[in-house]
Amino acid sequence: MENEEKKLEENKTENAEENKTATEEKKVNNRTNNKALLPDIVDIEKLTPEDKPLKEEIEEKRQELYKVYTKSRRTSNILMGVVVLVVIGSMALLMVNKDWSKIVGYSLAGAALVGLIIFSVLTKNKFPRQSKEYIRFVTTRIDRDIYNNTEFQDVKVDLNQKYSITELNLERVYKNSVDIGSRNIVKGLYLGQGFSCGELALYSVKEEGKKRMKAVSFIGKHVELQNTLHFEGRYIINFRAEKQNDLPTDIDDLVELRNEDNLVIYGPEGSDFSKDIPAKYLSELKKIKVEGHLFNLNVVLWAGHTGVYLSYDDPVVSVPFDKPFDDEPQFIFKNHLLAVLGAERIINK
């Protein structure tokens, strides 16, 4: 009896250990699975004295990737030339119409085809993967400079997050949007107030005669904020350059309330923007000069919500690859962003 009780206790202990091990394995598996499902969120860290200047660090990475690209292109061209020569040689041997020439011809053609397939398989994902890693590096490195000021806190970028047409249509600046591209959506606090900023491209349907085609509505930076204003409907404030790009199009239900110099304000008919929008807020926005890299500035104001559309040229929103990186456009954008965030504090009191 004592032996049976002893065996029973040993079995209980072994079962307990097995259950504990199974539980621990399950926890590890759950953590692994959850980690795979989590969004790719990166904390934007402040710069340190050891960090290289923005231009120098990105240019080093760009040159590394460009060397890989040119080497890959050169190898591909050489291999393609060899394949073409081998195929021509194979055809010439086949035309001899001898048994030995047919064997050699088919063998050469087969070897060329196999070599081409192997090369394609080995290089298929290599460069796209390196390009993706490079884009990730460039965007997060630029973000570190943009959001390096002490006024910014808890700044993060979700590398998987994208804007949706639905949410942007709610702001009602551009109508008939049919396609969208976005990346590098950064969220954080500026002097304790939340903001979101990302790169955005919007496309709409354009009709030319009987043809319908996709056209660019907006390319640039989009900033989303909250305000404490109270009024009915919405206002669109447009600061435009001499060359007018990316102007607001969803204005059929609005009227021009002000149109002077480079400033146009749209709002509901019969509304008084001077009562709803603080004059100091407009003065702060006027400090943003719509020139150079900045083509246009649209601000849509709803009660409680602000959407800002800064329309830029390629040096601000594109990732450098075949040309040297210039950091000046990024610092110009940073000044514009600080002006937008500073103005927003006026309507958040």
Residue 249 has pLDDT above 60, yes or no: yes
When pLDDT is cut at 50, 70 and 90, the band that residue 40 belongs to is: confident
* Structure confidence by residue, pLDDT tens digits, 277-302: 999 999 999 999 999 999 999 999 99
Question: What pLDDT was estimated at residue 10?
Answer: 47
Distance CA(297)–CA(29), nearest Å, equals: 49
Distance CA(162)–CA(183), nearest Å, equals: 6
Biggest CA-to-CA distance, the chain: 102
How confident is the model over 251-258, as a mean pLDDT?
A: 96
How confident is the model over 142-164, as a mean pLDDT?
A: 94
Residue 276 has pLDDT above 60, yes or no: yes
Ramachandran area for residue 107 (φ above 0: left; ψ -120 to 50: alpha; else beta): alpha
When pLDDT is cut at 50, 70 and 90, the band that residue 97 belongs to is: low
Helices and strands: H and E segment counts in the chain: 9, 10
Question: What pLDDT was estimated at residue 91?
Answer: 63
Closest residue by Cα to residue 263 from 279, 282, 280, 246: 282
* Structure confidence by residue, pLDDT tens digits, 108-137: 666 666 665 665 655 555 556 778 888 889
How confident is the model over 20-30, as a mean pLDDT?
A: 41
**Token pair for residue 263?**
């400033």
Percent of all residues in the chain with a pLDDT value above 70, rounded to a whole number: 72
Question: What pLDDT was estimated at residue 234?
Answer: 96
For 298-323, letters b (16+ CB in 10 Å) and e give bbbbbeeebbbbbbbeebbbebbeee
* Pairing of the two strands 305-312 and 211-225: antiparallel
Closest residue by Cα to residue 308 from 239, 231, 212: 239
* Structure confidence by residue, pLDDT tens digits, 322-345: 889 999 999 999 999 999 999 999
When pLDDT is cut at 50, 70 and 90, the band that residue 68 belongs to is: confident
Question: What pLDDT was estimated at residue 25?
Answer: 42
Asked if residues 104 and 93 have their Cβ atoms less than 8 Å apart, the reply is yes
Distance CA(278)–CA(229), nearest Å, equals: 10
Question: What pLDDT was estimated at residue 16?
Answer: 45
